[in-house]
A and B are shown apart, each in its own frame.
Chain A
Amino acid sequence: MGNLNVKFGLRDMFLDGVRPVHELAGCVFLNEHRVEIDAQGLKHKELNDLLRKTLLEGITKITVRNVYGQRYIGTRLYRPDPEKKAEITIYRNPGNDLGAFLDGHRIVVYGNAQDGVGNTMDGGEIIVHGRAGDIVAMSMRGGKIMIRDNVGYRAAIHMKEYPGKVPVLVIGGTAQDFFGEYMAGGIVLLLGLNLKENERHKAHYIGTGMHGGVIYLRGRVEEYQLGKEVGVRELDDRDWEIVQRYVGEFSAHFGFSADKILKGKFQKLLPVSKRPYGKIYAY
């Protein structure tokens, strides 16, 4: 291969061949006050161009059909001035980083989501009628995410909160390893609805490095599945209030019986220290 000395240059897999918005008119249908977009074959940026344009035109109700893997839906809808927030309904499979950096908009997905749902999300709501991939709600700092089924690795990693802003994540199924890793704030409910009678949750290293926030875990989990920075507590009245509230919302979204869910056994996982690594250094 040494005898080849031709430069490739660079091919931009995101931007090469992106069509300008006016060429995409054929994918957009105005239906009273709702815009419908057919995303079949649209590139990542093309779909997001259309979403931004629609919102800037003042239309907030948007339905997107035939979504297959388009990324960053909702990400480019930030406006410095407080505008009306969008309500985006998605059919099929939104791609990675759904609602990354989301700024108060609402996204409902009928289908499965992939990795990075609500990555560094600032506010708004994401409702997934299906499952989601890895790092759901990574570094999320505001708003609400509800996933009906299971989630992958490292859900709720490094979620954080500060006064007046507490993110909420509710997962109907179970999660894979490193659930709640590095968690610094926020409220997480893991309901385990699809586990069999007495089957334990799947994740290992739950809450490893956790130093803030709270996880309400419904169902069975063994101590060795928990990170060493996590303590297990019984729920007090205030906890039950929170759990009832979000289980109620969750059930309303997905048509479950809240009472039935609340009958399960809940445990509360808390960080044992706000400073898990305070003692590892020699000053």
Chain B
Amino acid sequence: MRVKTSWRSERLLPAKDHEACGLFGVMDITGRRFGGEMAINAIKNIKVRGNGLGGGFAVYGLYPEHKDYYALHIMFQNKSVEAKEKVEDFLVEHFNVVYDEEIPTDPQVNLFCPPLVWRYFVAPKKKGEEHSLPDDDYVVSRVMHINTGIEDAYVFSSGKDMGVFKGVGFPEEIAAYFLLDRLYEGYLWTVHSRFPTNTPGWWGGAHPFSILDWTVVHNGEISSYGTNRRFLEMHDYYCTLYTDTEVMAYAVDLLMRRQGLPIEVVAKIFAPPMWDLIEYMEEKEKKLYTALRMVYAPLLINGPFTVIVARHSEMFGLTDRIRLRPITAGAKGNLVFLSSEEAAIRCVCPDLDLAWTPRGGEPVVVRLHSQDHLLSLNQSV
């Protein structure tokens, strides 16, 4: 990550990534935790949607024994000891570190330039005026500081009781490397297989992209990226990774965490109905959609996308409004699935109770202890 300090001109911005991908997410709506086999096997099934240049997983309900602490997953490029010392000095100054360890890996798995990856369980150590700052904002600003200020160090996961594992390779290789099938359980897994056209060879560039407990996995290319990015910059989100996905993550954080909008509304900001359909709506709806489109026009996400966004107790899938990228939802008992292809779901859960294709721009919202995901069925086929 690089900080936007003094770009003299938009011209000097690095080129943005172009990528497309395979996505998969599974959640147990009772909160029961389960292993990574489903996520790993499903993403392996749609291997041809990626090209081996990035894969990653997000797992929720990961660290029940430390669930009150922010779990920071930090990678040190080139296994830099110097970076690690700097980070640890910084952490000790700003946090109470209750526990830390190297994230276990399988040395037998041969991957491209693996960094040193460490995890720290921390609680904010606020001073003076900082006490008025919410914990989340405090953590975000410290994470940004590490990512932009300390060379070769990158925090790629910073939520509580959740974590991201990602790197350069096919996702099943990343899973094997981090021993995901053996060591971890969670009630919600999302996974991403990447097909970038830029190849920085950088582990941080893989998905999921994460801030606090938000994670985003994304497929597509956002044609409105420049508009979205410059709007978010006005709200102090600086896009430092130059991937489409980053825009999506910050927009979700802005609209949902900071502005408190529910996902059902956010989905309509990202993928609003066409004006000619709004014309045919009832007066009240018409007013709402007209207002949303007027106010949040810069956050219309244009171009093809499918995205699976997750945070604690919630996962939602969304495509662009003319569904230029695929998504399939499925359900079996307490398990709800989202995937780029139905076959990926079927290969880990052959006998689904339900399988449906959500309408473009209609979110599938999967929540703990609720049946909200069925709402999207009405609009779907």
A residues engaging B (CB < 8 A)?
Answer: 1, 3-4, 6, 8, 11, 13-14, 44, 68-69, 71, 92-96, 111-112, 114-115, 131, 133-134, 150-153, 173-178, 202, 204, 224
Contacts and interface: CB of A to CB of B under 8 A. Distances in A.
Contacts of A174: 381
A176 B381 contact: yes
Given A4-B201, A13-B170, 8 more contacts: A1-B201, A1-B202, A4-B113, A69-B344, A69-B347, A112-B346, A131-B355, A176-B381
B301 to A, nearest CB: 18
A94 B360 CA distance: 23
B246 interface: no
Contact of A93 (B47, B170, B200, B343): B343
A134 B199 contact: no
A150 B357 CA distance: 9
Contacts of A96: 341
B323 interface: yes
A153 B326 CA distance: 10
Contacts, number: 105
Interface SS, B side:
loop
Interface centre among A1, A8, A202 (most CB of B within 10 A): A1
A1 B357 contact: no
A133 B199 contact: no
B322 A69 contact: no
A4 B80 CA distance: 13
B72 interface: no
Given A4-B202, A68-B346, A96-B341, A177 B48 contact: no
A36 B205 CA distance: 44
A69 B381 contact: no
B275 to A, nearest CB: 12
B359 interface: yes
Interface string B174-208: 00000000000000000000000001111011000
Given A4-B200, A8-B112, A176-B359, A114 B343 contact: yes
B376 to A, nearest CB: 13
Given A1-B201, A1-B204, A8-B112, A133 B328 contact: yes
Nearest to B325: A134
A129 to B, nearest CB: 14
Given A13-B52, A112-B355, A202-B359, A95 B322 contact: no
B323 A114 contact: no
Interface in B344-381: 344, 346-347, 350, 355, 357, 359-360, 379, 381
B105 interface: no
Give the size category of B's interface with A: 35 or more
Contacts of B78: 3
Interface in B264-290: 276-277, 279-280
B200 A11 contact: no
A111 B350 CA distance: 10
B331 interface: no
A92 B346 contact: yes
A132 B347 CA distance: 17
Contact of B343 (A4, A8, A95, A176): A95
Contact of B201 (A8, A13, A71, A204): A8
A30 to B, nearest CB: 26
Contacts of A134: 323, 326, 357
Nearest to A115: B326
B93 to A, nearest CB: 27
Contact of A202 (B204, B342, B381): B381
B357 A68 contact: no
B272 to A, nearest CB: 14
A13 B47 contact: yes
A134 B113 CA distance: 39
A231 to B, nearest CB: 19
23 contacts: A1-B201, A1-B202, A1-B204, A4-B77, A8-B53, A11-B51, A13-B51, A68-B347, A69-B45, A69-B341, A69-B347, A92-B346, A92-B350, A93-B347, A95-B341, A111-B346, A114-B326, A134-B357, A150-B357, A152-B381, A153-B323, A176-B357, A177-B322
